[in-house]
């Protein structure tokens, strides 16, 4: 079964608005990563946050990690039409030797 679960499954916003996506997981992890996938550029790594970190920024992206709640959030500020894509969280569990993607959030940014 998948360890990561994204919420919401789909999100539609206007350009300039912020988009927030959430990810929950079930077991203790080493780190959590966020990826973006669109038809033009394939799967692209966005940001990695380690289990001992609580927040990380990269450009317009802000990721938080709450290991006590086993959850993470990805915030995209001032969204653009080019941000339209599916966003996935992925985790590697401390106990296992596996790498698990969540089902993804489909983000549509309307001009």
Interface residue list for another protein (CB under 8 A) = 2, 30-31, 33, 35, 42-45, 48, 88, 90, 92, 97-104
**Minimum Å distance from CB 73 to another protein?**
20
Give buried/exposed letters for 57-71 (b at 16+ CB in 10 A, else e).
eeeebbbbbeeeebb
Q: What residues form DSSP beta bridges with 7? A: 22
Taking the least distance from each CB to another protein, the nearer of 12 and 30 is 30
Cα 63 to the chain's mean position, in Å?
A: 8
Taking the least distance from each CB to another protein, the nearer of 39 and 68 is 39
**Minimum Å distance from CB 3 to another protein?**
11
Taking the least distance from each CB to another protein, the nearer of 7 and 92 is 92
Taking the least distance from each CB to another protein, the nearer of 44 and 78 is 44
CA dihedral defined by 76, 79, 80, 82, rounded to 10 degrees? 20
Alpha-carbon distance of 38 to 31, in angstroms, equals 23
Task: Using DSSP, state whether 83 is helix, strand or coil.
Answer: helix
**Minimum Å distance from CB 17 to another protein?**
27
């Amino acid at each position: 079964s998948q360890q990561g679960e994204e919420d919401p499954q789909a999100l539609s916003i206007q350009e300039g608005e912020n988009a927030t996506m959430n990810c929950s997981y079930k077991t203790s992890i080493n780190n959590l990563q966020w990826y973006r996938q669109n038809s033009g550029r394939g799967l692209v790594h966005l940001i990695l946050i380690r289990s001992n970190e609580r927040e990380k920024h990269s450009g317009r992206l802000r990721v938080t990690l709450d290991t006590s709640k086993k959850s993470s959030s990805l915030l995209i500020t001032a969204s653009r039409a080019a941000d339209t894509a599916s966003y996935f969280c992925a985790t590697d569990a401390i106990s296992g030797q596996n790498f698990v993607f969540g089902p993804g959030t489909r983000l549509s940014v309307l001009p």
